[in-house]
Structure 1
Amino acid sequence: MKSIQYESKIYIQRKIVSACSFAASFFILLSLFGSVFADPIQPAHHISNQNRLVGSYLARVGNCIGCHTARGGDLFAGGREMHTSFGIFITPNITPDKETGIGNWDKSDFWRALHQGESRNGRMLYPVFPYPQYTKITRKDSDAIFDYLMSLKPIVNENAPSRVFFPYNLEPLLYIWRKLYFKKGVFKPDLSKSKEWNRGAYLVEGLGHCNSCHSSRNLLGASQKTKHIGKKMTGMGWYAPSLISRLEAGSRGLEINEIIELLTSGISKNAVASGHMATVIRQSLQFMLPQDIRAIAIYLKYIGRENSDIAPAESFPVLSKKVRSQLSEGGKIYTKYCEGCHQSSGRGIPGIYPPLAGNRSVTMSSPLNTILSVMHGGFPPTTIGNPRPYGMPPFQQIFHDKEIALVVSYIRNAWGNHSSLVTEIDIERSRNSNRD
């Protein structure tokens, strides 16, 4: 009990320090940008320097470095491999180098890529570049991002060509795909909704391109008509949960401030960001202006409320004698290795070690993220709001696949949780899925 009180005291102290740090950072941002963000959808940029500052912010919101920076490589110089079922795509250099980057492009060329999904020479781009979402970006925002990219130091980096599998490398098929699934068009505000709601919709559906990860896709790689319903992220291993389902990451039951805390610090009293989402928070979301992150939270809560009945069917194990024995074995593993942090109650320590009891990321239909967390461990993102996150050690060197399956099955069915059992086959598939 003393340990819990001590940890809680540390958490409170850290939150006070973090709040001071965040406030200082916020006022620095205000001094930099001034009235640039007066219009929440189309920032004003009267002079080129302001335009570059706005573009820097928008490029951060869109997390351009997330794709256009290889591990250990120069920022925006491309070279990252994007593994998909259609091929291995190599992200391009978007620094202003004239030979290997976009130094010969102008604003219209850049707008054409974002809005129409076409390169400077008219070549159709593959939708691994999320132009189905970027088409919603306004021309002013596109120009501002371009001005920022042109202000960067040119980096000479000749990237290898993408390796698109047959028959997807045939251009006529891409033409047909675009005719079937791509609809260009700048975001149009819903006049029946508030300005704040529309700003959130613009950021989520357009610049933030959330649907690129959080949407199920058909066999041709096109997003399903129902957006944000969740899917396994090709080439990244992790499962991007539904943003609308009450059984996954839907925000219907969350307070606005709780959503904001999770998106900016990577941790809240009931959840913690991991995997690719932790990277997005570290690289992008934590730096967003308070009014923008609040707008996103408002929009996410709205779509969670409107679509809360859209969820995959739940699958509960029949508690036979064999299943009870398996869960008992998993409970023993949990007691030995997990209870010290997540507690015997499964409630963890708020803001430090996330709860497992009632945790939707644990009980959702896909066990993938829980399996990967047990196997690989990890930290929440290091953020202004959580500068020294507590981490979880990896257990794949300690546990056999059978033991991982047992403990994950136990976690998914203890303390009132109810979800499907996990098998050794699931563990093997998860081990092979985490490629990037």
Structure 2
Amino acid sequence: MKANRRHIYVLLAFATVLAVLAAVVVMLNTLGEARIADSAKPLPASQQLIERGRYLALAGNCAGCHTERGGAAYAGGRSISTPFGIIYTSNLTPDPRAGIGLWSADHFWRAMHNGRSRDGRLLYPAFPYTSYTQVTREDSDAIYAWLQTLPPVSQGNRAHALDFPYNTQAALAVWRALFFRPGAYEAQARRSPDWNRGAYLVGGLGHCIACHGSRNVLGATNSGRGLGGGPIPGQSWYAPALDDPAEAGTSHWQTSDIVALLKTGITASATVSGPMADVVYQSTQYLDDADLHAIAVYLKDLPDHAQARQEAIPVQSGSALMQRGDKVYSKQCASCHGEQGEGKVGMFPALAGNRAVKLGNPANLIQMVLFGGYAPSTKGNPRPYGMPPFGHVLTDEDVSAVLTYVRGSWGNNAPEVSLLQVVRR
């Protein structure tokens, strides 16, 4: 009898703990949320507000995710690969059934600020409300007003294809309780208006940390290091650290060069490619000079976090791998990048001393060699030079050899690229 009572007490205690934890999770998932009336009044939208919303939607690169390749603008359906499965983006057009035609400005603000849909469902953070929570109500209303002017598209939203338990609202609620709190950008009085504007854009609508931040095993960004770089979830690209001068840090750059890179995708010493080329093409090239300058001021002022790096063991120049890489380079690469990796100014980037070549993670180089890459077509660079794909020409062994050669030549002294790294691309 005593044993049975003991078991009952243990079960009651366990149930109590679970109930308390559940209550805490619910509380943390409703922080800062106001009740939205079903009869919410429509938002009065002036032409000025709509135009501001159009601009802000570009700043947030909303079309980049919410437009399927070849599909109607903002109609959703684009797949986003994550370590937990596939997320499909939603329809943002004002269609009353498939889109957000029945949403009020309050509903839209709640989605941006709290990560909750009109019907009360919690949203997955592939929609980066963890950053958008910093966006002001005024800017949220402007984006909403702009979206309401789009042609409605009756394209239904696709169900996500996530693994269990990540496909449950309960698991999402626990994740949010652990890693998400609604917030707002707080201007720093000791900083200039430009710095604060840049911090607001980078941390909020720009959601730069979504790519340029590292993540834990549950997919939450490491806010402690911020823009410290990391593999882009679901992609085979590495977003270099924006606070490390050996990666993509710009503390030693001229502000005008940062502005030029964001506006045109190219400067005398750098070119964007891969996912960042898409960002410049669809977003930053359309920002006004004042906002680009503000972003540049903020990025330039990020504290340097140069990582301690072990001195790479130079690959022996006479090794079989280097010899093979030398032959591949001479045949496939030297005509553009130069016999000594010197490149051609304004056309083909130099490989000698190129910090993108020397990154500890060679993922971007592998992607470029296999699948090619172009700078974005912008008003300031309408016909960019690009690199054709070589995946159909080179074997995996050739790719390993030529990248090892490039990383080990002309003073680069970067580690070799193994065959396994190429195969795992």
1:152 corresponds in structure 2 to 150
Q: Which residue of 2 aligns with 1:394?
A: 389
| Unaligned runs of at least 5 residues, structure 2 | 1-42
Residue 79 of structure 2 corresponds to 81
In structure 2, the residue corresponding to 1:198 is in which secondary structure? Answer: helix
Q: Which runs of 5+ in 1 are unaligned?
A: 1-44, 431-436
CA distance in 1, matches of 2:45, 2:316: 71
In structure 1, how many angstroms separate the alpha carbons of the residues matched to 2:212 and 2:275?
Answer: 12
> Is 1:113 matched up with 2:102?
no
Match of 1:307 in 2: 304
SS in 2 for 1:278: helix
Instruction: Work out which of the residue numbers 362, 366, 384 in structure 2 matches 1:367.
Output: 362
1:358 is aligned to 2:353: yes
Q: Which is worse superposed, 72-81 or 261-270?
A: 261-270
In the aligned structure 1, how far is the partner of 2:176 from the partner of 2:128?
13
* C-alpha contact 2:187 2:196 (8 A) present in aligned 1: yes
Tell me by how many angstroms 1:128 deviates: 0.9
Residue in 2 that maps onto 1:194: 192
- What is residue 247 of structure 2 aligned with on the other side? 248
1:414 is aligned to 2:414: no
Residue 400 of structure 2 is matched in structure 1 by: 405
Provide Cα deviations, 1:214-246, integer angstroms capped at 9, x if missing partner.
Answer: 111001111112111111112232111111112
Mapping of residues 70-149 of structure 1, within 5 Å: 70-149=68-147
Match of 1:346, SS state, is coil
The equivalent of 1:219 in structure 2 is 217
Aligned-partner SS, 2:301 = helix
Q: CA deviation at 1:312?
A: 6.1
Q: CA deviation at 1:314?
A: 4.1
Name the amino acid aligned to 2:304. Answer: N
Quickly say closer, same or farther: Cα 1:275–1:53, change in 2 above 3 A.
same
The aligned counterpart of 2:232 is 233
Task: Go from structure 1 to structure 2 and tell me whether the alpha carbon gap of 1:347 and 1:241 turns closer, same or farther (over 3 Å shift).
Answer: same
CA contact (8 A) 2:74 2:93 kept: yes
Q: Is 1:344 the equivalent of 2:339?
A: yes
Please name the residue that 1:281 is paired with.
Answer: 280
Change (3 A) 1:321 1:384: closer
Residue 232 of structure 2 aligns with an amino acid whose one-letter code is: M
Encode CA deviations 1:258-291: one digit per residue, 9 max, x unaligned: 1111111111111111111101100111111001
Deviation at 1:329, TM superposition (A): 2.5
Higher relative contact order (CA 8 A, sep 6+): 1
Contact 2:317 2:323 in 1 (8 A): no
1:377 paired with 2:375, answer no
- The residue identity in structure 1 corresponding to 2:49 is N
Q: Is the 8 A contact 2:314 2:413 kept in 1?
A: no
Instruction: Deviation per CA, 1:116-147: give whole Å up to 9, x if none.
Output: 11111221111111001000000000000000
Retained in 2: the 8 A contact 1:334–1:407? Answer: yes
Q: Cα 1:274–1:314, aligned 2, differ >3 Å: closer, same or farther?
A: farther
> 2:129 & 2:229 partners in 1: Cα distance?
19
Is contact 2:315–2:408 with CA below 8 Å preserved after alignment?
A: no
Listed one character per residue, the Cα deviations across residues 168-214 of structure 1 (whole Å, up to 9, x for unaligned) are: 12322222211221121111111110000001000000010000111
CA contact (8 A) 1:327 1:410 kept: yes
* Separation in structure 2 between the aligned mates of residue 298 and residue 234 of structure 1, nearest angstrom: 28
Q: Structure 1: how far apart are the matches of 2:317 and 2:357?
A: 24
More moved, 45-54 vs 363-372: 45-54
Distance, in Å, in 1 between the alignment partners of 2:156 and 2:313 is 53
Moved more, 340-349 or 207-216: 340-349
8 A contact 1:264–1:383 mirrored in 2: yes
Deviation (angstroms), 1:425? 1.1
Residue among 147, 150, 171 paired with 1:173: 171
- Tell me the SS of whatever aligns to 1:88: strand
| AA aligned opposite 1:307 | D
Which secondary structure state, in structure 2, belongs to the residue aligned with residue 362 of structure 1? coil
Answer whether contact 1:103 1:150 (CA < 8 A) is retained: yes
Q: Percent identity?
A: 45
- Matched residues, number: 382
Identify the match of residue 422 of structure 2 among 417, 421, 427.
427
Per the alignment, do residues 47 and 98 of structure 1 end up closer, same or farther by CA in structure 2, a change over 3 Å counting?
A: closer
User: Is the 2:212–2:230 Cα contact (8 Å) retained in structure 1?
Assistant: yes
Map Cα deviations across residues 13-60 of structure 1 (whole Å, 9 max, x no partner).
xxxxxxxxxxxxxxxxxxxxxxxxxxxxxxxx9961010000000000
What amino acid is aligned across from residue 237 of structure 1 in structure 2?
Answer: S
The aligned runs of 1:24-63 (5 Å cut-off) are 48-63=46-61
Write the distance in 1 (CA, Å) between the matches of 2:315 and 2:101: 64
Distance in 2 (CA, whole Å) between partners of 1:325 and 1:246 is 33
Question: CA offset at residue 251 of structure 1?
Answer: 0.8
Q: Distance in 1 between matches of 2:194 and 2:249?
A: 19
Corresponding letter in the other structure for 1:73: G
Structure 1, 156-165 or 230-239: larger mean CA deviation: 230-239
Q: Secondary structure at the match of 1:397?
A: coil
